[in-house]
């Protein structure tokens, strides 16, 4: 038992929905510790689910050992095992679920299957102390605008095709930048901003796809690729692409806040690491007397700690997952999970 955490047992969380395998910890009173994570980055092309799953299997033992040693913990310090039950890629989810079942059995502690999307909300609430936000969830595979109402996190709007992060990754890959592309697009966009004092979008119009409360990103990606082919500097296209897609997300988020009567906006998912979308969120919230929140970057990207945190909240209302109920759920929706905790 580590001196730092006294007699406080920890909840172990396992994240394996897609490219990231991650183990994380929260104490029973909600102190979130850094995760031990590794990212599967393909040499070329997008994520191959089987190869990502092989990566997860190979690295799991090392990551878990690293987490336990870093925090001077042994198995008797762990009071429950939480894992991502869905949504995600089947082969990847299966690796995390198998490890979770094995640890729960051999350490004789409860198993808690959690909804990955809901975990992004709960780690954001844990980290920022916002209470009842609209969540703008912008990650690789998911883009959703979510608010809690009537015991569920309701999806008020979402992408009709690909996730915003996948779009940035694909666009970047087309122009020779390896996964993850989002941070590279951000740094080229900043470069353009510092070189172009006019900051005008007049030279480069892109389709802006907001459809009611929904969004789409594949058309704008095609159009942005065409702008590069037409001879626009890549930096300029990166900047214009960010301006368009982030504005679309913020527009829908603002409408969701107005409809749902909420005055907090929480960002989550890997794209929430981007400084520009944070700036836009702040400006929009300032203008309507609301507050924008974003957790620290390690808790925006997929991480095991967020899974542990949702597991902790579910345990607080005595929710655990029997072995017979622990099958993965690749198509799990945000609003399928009944929210009984605070």
Interface with Mg ion (CB under 5 A): 139, 302
What is the nearest approach in angstroms of ligand AMP to the Cβ of residue 138? 8
Binding residue count for ligand AMP, defined by CB under 6 A: 18
What is the nearest approach in angstroms of ligand AMP to the Cβ of residue 20? 6
What does the per-residue mask of binding to ligand AMP show for 178-217, with x meaning CB under 6 A? --xxxx--x-------------------------------
The residues facing 138 across adjacent strands are 143
Handedness of CA 159, 165, 169, 174 (dihedral sign): positive
Q: Among residues 139 and 321, whose Cβ is nearest to ligand AMP?
A: 139
DSSP helix/strand/coil, 86: strand
DSSP helix/strand/coil, 261: coil
Q: Among residues 133 and 141, whose Cβ is nearest to ligand AMP?
A: 141
What does the per-residue mask of binding to ligand AMP show for 12-51, with x meaning CB under 6 A? --------x-------------------------------
What whole-number distance in Å separates Cα of residue 38 and Cα of residue 221? 28
Q: Which residue among 168, 209, 248, 252 contacts ligand AMP (CB under 6 A)?
A: 168
Q: Judging by DSSP bridges, how do beta strands 152-158 and 143-149 pair with one another?
A: antiparallel
Contact partner at residue 90 from Mg ion, ligand AMP, none, CB < 5 to 8 Å by partner kind: none
47-56 as b/e, with b when 16 or more CB fall inside 10 Å?
bebeebbebb
Under the binding rule (CB under 6 A), the answer on residue 96 touching ligand AMP is no
What does the per-residue mask of binding to ligand AMP show for 100-139, with x meaning CB under 6 A? ---------------------------------------x
| Tokens 């692409």 -> residue | 241
Neighbouring residues of 342: CB distance < 8 A, sequence distance ≥ 6? 313, 316
What whole-number distance in Å separates Cα of residue 237 and Cα of residue 175? 11
Question: What value does the CA radius of gyration of the chain take, rounded to a whole number of Å?
Answer: 20
Contact partner at residue 303 from ligand AMP, Mg ion, none, CB < 5 to 8 Å by partner kind: none
- Residues numbered 228-287 forming contacts with ligand AMP, rule: CB under 6 A: 269-271, 273-274
What whole-number distance in Å separates Cα of residue 84 and Cα of residue 119? 9
> Helix-strand-coil percent breakdown of the chain, rounded to 5?
45, 20, 30
Contact partner at residue 168 from ligand AMP, Mg ion, none, CB < 5 to 8 Å by partner kind: ligand AMP
| Tokens 């929430």 -> residue | 272
What is the nearest approach in angstroms of ligand AMP to the Cβ of residue 230? 24
- Residues numbered 300-329 forming contacts with ligand AMP, rule: CB under 6 A: 301-302
């Amino acid at each position: 038992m580590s001196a730092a955490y006294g007699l406080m047992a920890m909840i172990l969380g396992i994240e394996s929905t897609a490219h990231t395998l991650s183990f994380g910890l929260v104490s029973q009173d909600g102190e979130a510790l850094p995760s031990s994570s590794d990212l599967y980055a393909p040499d070329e092309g997008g994520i191959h689910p089987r190869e990502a799953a092989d990566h997860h299997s190979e690295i799991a033992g090392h990551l878990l050992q690293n987490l336990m040693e870093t925090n001077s913990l042994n198995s008797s310090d762990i009071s429950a095992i939480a894992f991502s039950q869905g949504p995600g890629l089947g082969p990847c989810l299966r690796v995390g679920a198998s490890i979770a079942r094995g640890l729960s059995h051999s350490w004789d502690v409860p198993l808690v299957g959690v909804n990955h999307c809901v975990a992004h909300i709960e780690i954001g609430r844990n980290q920022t102390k916002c209470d009842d936000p609209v969540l703008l969830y912008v990650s690789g595979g998911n883009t959703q605008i979510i608010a809690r109402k009537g015991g569920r996190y309701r999806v008020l709007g979402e992408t009709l095709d690909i996730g915003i992060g996948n779009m940035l990754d694909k666009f970047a890959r087309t122009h020779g930048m390896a996964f993850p592309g989002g941070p590279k697009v951000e740094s080229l966009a900043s470069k353009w901003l510092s070189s172009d004092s006019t900051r005008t979008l007049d030279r480069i119009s892109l389709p802006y796809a907001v459809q009611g409360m929904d969004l789409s990103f594949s058309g704008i990606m095609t159009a942005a690729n065409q702008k590069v082919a037409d001879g626009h500097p890549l930096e300029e296209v990166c900047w214009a692409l960010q301006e368009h897609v982030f504005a679309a997300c913020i527009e829908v988020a603002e409408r969701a806040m107005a409809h749902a009567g909420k005055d907090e906006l929480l960002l989550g998912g890997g794209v929430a690491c981007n400084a520009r979308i944070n700036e836009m969120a702040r400006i929009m919230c300032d203008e309507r007397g609301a507050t924008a929140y974003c957790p620290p970057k390690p808790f925006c990207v997929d991480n095991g700690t967020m899974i542990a945190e949702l597991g902790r909240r579910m345990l607080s209302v005595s929710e655990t997952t029997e072995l017979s109920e622990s099958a993965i759920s690749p198509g799990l929706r945000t609003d399928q999970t009944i929210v009984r905790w605070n």
